Amino acid sequence: MKKLIHHSLPITIYILRTYIIIGKMKKRYKRKRSGWMRRTSRIYLNGNVNKGKIEKLKAFLNLFKNIVNFCIVYFWASHDTQDNNLPGREFTGRIEARYGVTARLSQCAAKQAKEAVLSQNKLSKRKRRMPRLKSAIANLDSRFVTIEPFNGHFDMCLKFGSGVPDLIIPFNWTKHTNKFRNEGWVLSKSVRLGYNRRGLFVDLIFEKERPPLKEEGKVIGIDQGFNSMLVTSDGQVIGKELKEKIKKGGKRRKSWHHYIETETNWHLKELNLDNVNLISLENLKNVKRGKRGKFSRNVNRLLSFWLYAKVGKRLTQICEERGIRKRLKNPWKTSQRCAVCGNIDRRNRRGERFLCLSCGHADNADHNASKNLELLGLAGVYSLRSLKSEVCK
């Protein structure tokens, strides 16, 4: 009898473990190419698909958006906001019964909802709010879509299934997608499907392994200014024409913001980063906070087009692709400190002109600030305050 109990105990434990795993159904999806760079290329499908297929996919996307929002409310109400494990079979079964979708699709919607909830953990507790999916967008992996060559007048096609309407959607490569293909980027098996005012679209995801970080090269400082988009410590001035283009735009409107964003991306291609291994960039997060009512209406309108966050994000991508390090620095007094003698005085700067009252050094104010940022990058400190303490030691 004792031998029977002894031999049956591991089997009993195995059965209990299996029952617990099946009951919870907690899965954690990991990317196959973890740590690789990711870029998206959007293709609009209106001209490639008939109206009936478009309506079917729009109806599916609206349903998917409702499921994701339902999952977000569930995760937020149950305070399941710390780990990225998905809910068990009991919850996904409720989604299947409520919305009439497959188990796979309910898991996919729950995963997208969990990612939206976990994104709030990056914020402070005072700023955390329950997210909400406003756009009809679905992140679909290889279980729901396959990308294959198309025999016909189109280059490729998307084949949907497993809960998504069983449709074949053809499309052609674009100039943007060909850029990634020619540069050795790998097309991911996952896509992002959605629609907006312009119509139905698919975001193709390209991945590429990160290049090794450069060990040799120079350090440059980059100042993001109002009159010129970027001024580097080695004398490059990028986007000086943007201010005049913004003035021609007239009143503030979203279409002009999109135009200026496109122009900034074009100007960033002029930035020469050869033989550079580190960029020292000022940290401008919340720089506009508390400035409401301090400037005239015209200046406020011009400041609204100062897309420093998007420029910084694009700079991060460029550095990532070239193996260049990027370090954010405190902009405190960088525009008032003389890069030659180190004198700090608010009277040194007058608009775009910098004239040191101590040593008489004259320079462009943005270029002088970029030289100070370069100094912070070389010293490996965050702000001029830290630089002072290092000197005292």
167-212 confidence digits (pLDDT tens): 999 999 999 999 999 999 999 999 999 999 999 999 999 999 999 9
Question: 213: which DSSP letter?
Answer: P
pLDDT tens-digit map of 121-138: 888 888 889 999 999 999
- Torsions phi, psi of 8, nearest 5? -80, -15
Quick one: average pLDDT of 273-302? 83
Q: What is the DSSP letter of 347?
A: G
Arithmetic mean of pLDDT over the chain: 87
Give pLDDT, residue 303: 78
CB count within 10 Å of CB 194 equals: 20
The mean per-residue pLDDT over the stretch 99-125 comes to 92
Residue 15 pLDDT: 36
Give yes or no for residue 225 having a pLDDT over 90.
no
pLDDT, average across residues 263-285: 94
Q: How many C-beta atoms surround the C-beta of residue 364 within 10 A?
A: 18
Q: What is the pLDDT of residues 30-48, one digit of tens each?
A: 567 788 999 999 999 988 8
CA distance 388 to 2: 76
CA distance 116 to 124: 16
Q: What is the pLDDT of residue 195?
A: 96
Residue 311 pLDDT > 80: yes
pLDDT tens-digit profile of 255-266? 788 888 899 999
pLDDT one-digit tens code per residue, 333-364: 999 999 999 999 999 999 899 999 999 999 99
6: phi then psi, degrees, rounded to nearest 5: -65, -40
pLDDT greater than 60 at residue 23:
no
Give per-residue pLDDT as tens, 58-86: 999 999 999 999 999 999 998 877 777 77
> What is the per-residue pLDDT for 41?
97
**pTM attached to this predicted model:** 0.84
Mean pLDDT, residues 237-241 taken together = 93
Cα angle, residue 206 at apex, residues 181 and 49 outer, rounded to 5°? 85
Q: Which of 325, 307, 308 is nearest to 316 (CA)?
A: 325
Dig out the tokens for 282 from the structure.
């000022």
Q: Residue 29 pLDDT more than 60?
A: no
Q: Is 240 helix (H, G, I), strand (E, B) or coil?
A: coil
Amino acid letter, 207:
E
